[in-house]
Amino acid sequence: MNSNQIQNVYFIGIGGIGMSALARYFMHIGKNVAGYDKTHTQLTDELEDLGMHIHFEDNVDRIEKKYLEKETTLVVVTPAIPKNHSEWNYFLSHGFEIRKRAEVLGIITKDTFCFAVAGTHGKTTTSSILGHILYQSGIDVTAFLGGIVEGYNSNLIGSGKTVTVVEADEFDRSFLHLHPNLACVTSMDADHLDIYGNVESIEESFRMFANKVNPEHLFVPLKVNLKGNTIGIDERADYEALNIRILNGFYHFDVQTPSKLMKDVKFGLPGRHNLSNALIALAMAEKYGVSEDGLKAALETFRGVRRRFSFQVRNEKRVYVDDYAHHPTEIEAVHNAVRELYPGKKVLAVFQPHLFSRTRDFMEGFTESLSKFDEIVLLDIYPARELPIEGITSEVLLTKIENPNKKLVGKETLFEVFQQSDAEVFITIGAGDIGEMVKDLKKVLDDRTQMA
């Protein structure tokens, strides 16, 4: 990939969260950027507002002429694209340079000091915190992220050329294209079993990623069975958060590092899982050389990531939180955070399962984690790239949930649920298109508050 020769970059699947970060990057460095995606979303609207030409029909005739010039165009594809996609096949048959997103990231970051953040859960929040710390500390950084960071309204932080932060995705073993200098693995649970087949293959892939750095340059929570700097929450570790309190909506805690004790660090995202994410980011930034004052100032000002325990309504009568969780462990973390913040409150959780294969593989885990809420509402499975699997439906999941306060509804009915429920805390959960409903669901609760 010769970046000097490339004038145009065309994305197939431009609306994906990782793809759109790359699209923003190429536009920022002066390339022409366009692409295809299956559906309009808030994210594609934001890219179009930046001047990117996006269409939503798989049709080569819709592609602007300059992107059909082979010598000056790079084509970037998402691994989720179907093999019969006509635009992709056009570029293949005409000999264009075609790269997966992870390959492009590997090329861009190879000649930088690269922080790579991996893990089945927590990598978006951890990499966003890390990017924020480095950027606020005046470091020449670009952070490629898997979520829209509050306060930046983007999944790309900075425009530096010497340091990069990359969310290292395990899907399709994509993270093995990267060349990290410092790395972390936030968690190593089973996921993407449609790709890996079994837990052992996933763990082996993470070990291959971890081996890209020396153990002294790897950071892992105590529960992750890899050799590196350990991270602990109220547990003895190389980097330990201790004396943890909650004051005025913020965690206050001390951090014991291998060399010193940092007193009264403040961090505003709820949940012990987010405290662990923050501690990993702090440890990596401290290893790089960010000062204690810089670390504290940045952690206190981090505002979160869109759809990661994102408060939509927060008043004395009701709370509404939206979260991207799509794995039983993530749902459990959301549940624990809500119970810690709002003990004794009635909690209604709306869950849209993501992928038939994931619903099949983690049916028992979903059953256990969802049963803990006071009221559960299911939507139909969001298929994304998959065809239905016989016997795997939201109806089947519903029958397994051990809670009498449960039901399956269509999207239209969900607004009635929000209108009528006596819950005090509402949560929408899922990685599908449930996120597109959040704005309208928020309005229902806002209207209820005004009418009361």
Q: What is the pLDDT of residue 191?
A: 59
Residue 161 counted as an annotated binding residue: no
Residue 119 counted as an annotated binding residue: yes
Residue 41 counted as an annotated binding residue: no
Q: Which residue has the tokens 């462990």?
A: 329
The Cα angle at residue 124 between residues 17 and 375, in degrees rounded to 5: 95
Q: What is the mean pLDDT of the chain?
A: 94
More confident residue, 432 or 172: 432
Catalogue the E-assigned strands of 64-215. Answer: 73-77, 97-100, 113-118, 141-149, 154-157, 163-167, 182-185
Spatial separation of the C-alpha atoms in residues 120 and 189, rounded to whole Å: 6
pTM to 2 decimals?
0.85
pLDDT band for position 196 (cuts 50, 70, 90): low
pLDDT in tens, 89-145: 999 999 999 999 989 999 999 999 999 999 988 999 999 999 999 999 999 999 999
Helix H or strand E segment including 438: helix 438-451
Long-range contacts made by residues 339-346, C-beta under 8 angstroms, separation at least 24? 340/246, 340/270, 340/271, 340/272, 341/270, 342/424, 342/425, 345/319, 345/424, 345/425, 346/374, 346/375, 346/422, 346/423, 346/424, 346/425
Residue 122 counted as an annotated binding residue: yes
Reply yes or no on whether the pLDDT at 256 is more than 70.
yes
More confident residue, 270 or 33: 33
Non-local CB neighbours of 407 within 8 Å, separated by 6+ positions: 376, 377, 378, 398
Superfamily of domain 8-99: NAD(P)-binding Rossmann-like Domain (3.40.50.720)
Q: What is the pLDDT of residue 249?
A: 77
Distances (CA, A) of 48 to 23, 64, 297, 432: 11, 15, 34, 21
Residue 314's Cβ-side half-sphere holds a number of Cα atoms within 13 Å equal to 10
Distances (CA, A) of 191 to 199, 282, 360, 367, 397: 8, 26, 12, 16, 18
Per-domain residue ranges for the chain? 8-99, 110-301, 310-451
Contact assessment for residue 221 and residue 229, using Cβ atoms and an 8 Å cutoff = no
pLDDT band for position 217 (cuts 50, 70, 90): very high
Is it true that domain 310-451 has CATH number 3.90.190.20? Answer: yes
Residue 121 counted as an annotated binding residue: yes
Superfamily of domain 110-301: Mur-like, catalytic domain (3.40.1190.10)
